[in-house]
Amino acid sequence: MPDSDIYIQATETDPDVIARGVVREAHDRLLSGLAGLTTAPVAHGAEPRSADLVDFCLHEVRRYLITADRDLYEPASGDDETRLLVDALRVGAAALNAQIDELATAGPGDAARLGVMIAATLDSHLQIEESVLLPALAGLPGVDPLLLAADLRAYLAGEHVEEPTVIDVRNIARGGRHPRVFARYARLAPGEAFILVNSHDPKPLRREFEAIHRGAFSWDYLQTGPEEWRVRIGRVAADV
């Protein structure tokens, strides 16, 4: 086994521990931000606090919900043992989004009440992510905890994370490019595909696919330079 694949479990070198730490950091930021906006009094009236609360929920909370759906829920949505859990989390996220929509049109008095409701609902929602979803993800084949951590770090940094159908590896450190692509491939259902964007012809990556997934993947060039290459990589549909 390569040295890079050896981890000391239950320490800071364990990928699952790293992923849990990043998720906890994101959760703490959301909950502390809401606590500061729903519990501290405002000396000169409630309206400025109300506006800040709406802005935080519309941009910070909602952006996290979108990120979590893509990077935490989607990898677990295709497994029989976790599909119902993901469905429940998505129902919870929809309820949070409905509360945020109501908050956006509420007056200052109602906004304070709705802010407390959102904080309580979000707290319960995030506890389920940490205590139930993350342990389940750790046991699923094809789920890369370091990839989950990288995507959530991008959220924490305010960076854009690529759409699920496009992976632009030009902005990913070299050592993380191929693992990101193979992790995305592992999430594909038969017949699905994603688009790889690179600054050069990714021939070494194709050789790895041939070695690992021979006969099970498709590789179609959409653009061949001179400054940008685009390749559609798919999982071949099983014969019926």
How would CATH label the architecture of 166-235?
2-Layer Sandwich (3.30)
Q: How far is CA 179 from CA 85, 89, 118, 150, 208, in A?
A: 26, 27, 36, 11, 11
> How many CA atoms lie less than 13 Å away from 70 in the CB half-sphere?
21
Query: Phi/psi class of residue 164: alpha, beta or left (left: φ > 0; alpha: ψ in -120 to 50)?
Result: alpha
Q: How far is CA 21 from CA 65, 83, 97, 176, in A?
A: 18, 24, 25, 19
Over the stretch 113-165, which tens digit does the pLDDT of each residue have?
A: 899 999 999 999 999 999 999 999 888 877 777 777 777 887 788 765 555 57
- Residue whose C-alpha is closest to residue 220's, from 235, 237, 238, 199: 235
Domain ranges of the chain: 8-156, 166-235
Q: How many residues does the chain have?
A: 240
- Counting as low any pLDDT under 50, the low residues of the chain are 1-9, 42-48, 239-240
